[in-house]
Structure 1
Amino acid sequence: MASPHLPRLRVGDAFSSIEELDEVISRLEQAQNTTYWKRDARTIEAAAKRVKKPLNPALKYYQVVWACVKGGRAYKSKSTGLRPNQKTVRGDCGACIKVCASRDGQKLIVVKNDLDHNHPTTAVSTLRCNGDVVT
């Protein structure tokens, strides 16, 4: 559940560069004791092939989805049983942030903001990818 002390990130918020948005997401990760990863992304270069409006290159992405490291896409094991008991941090957490370019192509707009995690988000329960405990 989203807490009132989290950094402000609401549907409709606009950002003029990807760096500005990355800063807010970094603060959100620290406040929530969690990590988000870029699950899906379409770059400005790829979108320019399909979209006829001018796009701000400072945005870097036309569309991007950040998902909780314990969620994102459904995990399906490809195990053959040769290495039993292999674990993954992936689960079914639905927390995600979806951002798209504005109609004029000059800003990134938050279109979905689901910050509700279905797992504990305490500092002790959250590990970074390199194994360091988030404090």
Structure 2
Amino acid sequence: MARILALDYGKKRTGIAVTDELQLIASGLTTVQTPDLINFLSEYFKKEKVERVLVGEPKRMDHSPSESEVYIQEFLKKFSEKFPDMPLERVDERFTSKMAVQSMIDSGLKKKKRRDKALVDEISATIILQTWLYE
């Protein structure tokens, strides 16, 4: 089997999470500066077998797209052009940032470490991946 990759896409940074090869465990991989994301993915796909990529879909409470969806759509177009054979799925990402911060609190991370936006993005990507795995 191949891995599944999840992205918590942001204008500045993108959190990335990945499964193990058996697709049982979701783990945070890293956070990448968004302008470097396509290059990072290209290198990662050369090293690892990836079955599909999940991209968070930010929605408002009324299910309408959030304002950041415009940037995500631009990325999705570039992604599809660069990796036309890679399956891409969207996953509702409402509350993932809040859940990420709460998980940091629950795990005992100090306040200074909880302010690390890159870590929040990585944990958010992990939550997106877990949501998809356990649906």
Q: Which interval holds the TM-score relative to the shorter structure?
A: under 0.3
Task: Give the TM-score taking structure 1 as reference length.
Answer: 0.27
- Based on CA coordinates, which of the two structures has the bigger radius of gyration? 1
Task: Give the TM-score taking structure 2 as reference length.
Answer: 0.27
User: Which has the higher relative contact order, 1 or 2, with Cα contacts under 8 A spaced 6 or more apart?
Assistant: 2
